[in-house]
């Protein structure tokens, strides 16, 4: 069992490289970037893992203040498990203190779902993580909706958000970052009732 003093490993899932930066598949990176900004940190290369990391604290002063390692695996989405395992082992993070933030096709655009454990729902980043560390980690699923018409899923997730979606994206990423802070400070049930839409 994890202790309240154990650190949290918060993973934004995505693909490295400027050509992917604004893709739907990279919304996890966007949330991680905002959280890093909020704690006043800059991502740097991890020593022991193929990832970029920022260490800091999230939450109000006192017992709800949590030590966090924000990370963006730099291995491409479908190989996320390797860097996640290396980070978990290096920072000695219990699996239930690992949180993956990722895009989710089966939820309407901008909706959030927070959960602990479960399947990967065809998401290659989660599939790789679960294969490496088991499924008992937290997830924040950021809805991107389904592709229009006959567009292939792989093409849809690797496209940038549409101009209509981009109008709301800043607000929605901000809300997802708020949900991370709530989860860490107040627990999963409270965060679910506040943010699951």
- Write out the catalytic residue numbers: 25
Q: How far apart are CA 41 and CA 26, in angstroms?
A: 20
Torsional sign, CA 118, 1, 70, 50: negative
Task: Specify whether the backbone of 153 is left (phi greater than 0), alpha (psi in -120 to 50) or beta.
Answer: alpha
Residues in the chain: 197
Q: How far apart are CA 196 and CA 115, in angstroms?
A: 9
Give the residue among 130, 176, 155, 148 at the shortest CA–CA distance from 25: 155
Cα 40 to the center of its chain, rounded Å:
18
The count of other CB atoms within 10 Å of the CB of residue 154 is 11
Are residues 10 and 35 in contact, defined by beta-carbon separation less than 8 angstroms? yes
Quote the tokens at residue 61. Answer: 């002063």
């Amino acid at each position: 069992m994890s202790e309240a003093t154990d650190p949290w490993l918060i993973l934004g899932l995505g693909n490295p490289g400027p050509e992917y930066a604004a893709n739907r598949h990279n919304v996890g990176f966007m949330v991680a970037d905002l959280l890093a900004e909020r704690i006043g940190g800059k991502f740097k290369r991890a020593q022991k893992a193929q990832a970029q990391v920022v260490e800091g604290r999230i939450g109000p002063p006192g017992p709800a203040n949590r030590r966090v390692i924000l990370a963006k695996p730099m291995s491409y989405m479908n190989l996320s498990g390797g860097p996640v395992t290396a980070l978990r082992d290096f920072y000695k993070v219990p699996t239930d203190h690992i949180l993956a933030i990722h895009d989710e096709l089966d939820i309407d655009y901008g909706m959030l779902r927070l959960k602990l454990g479960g399947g990967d729902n065809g998401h290659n980043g989660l599939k790789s993580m679960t294969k490496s560390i088991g499924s008992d980690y937290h997830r924040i699923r950021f809805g991107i909706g389904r592709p229009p018409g006959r567009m292939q899923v792989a093409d849809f997730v690797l496209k940038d958000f549409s101009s209509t979606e981009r109008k709301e994206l800043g607000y929605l990423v901000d809300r997802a970052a708020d949900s991370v802070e709530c989860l860490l400070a107040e627990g999963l049930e409270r965060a679910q009732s506040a943010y699951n839409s």
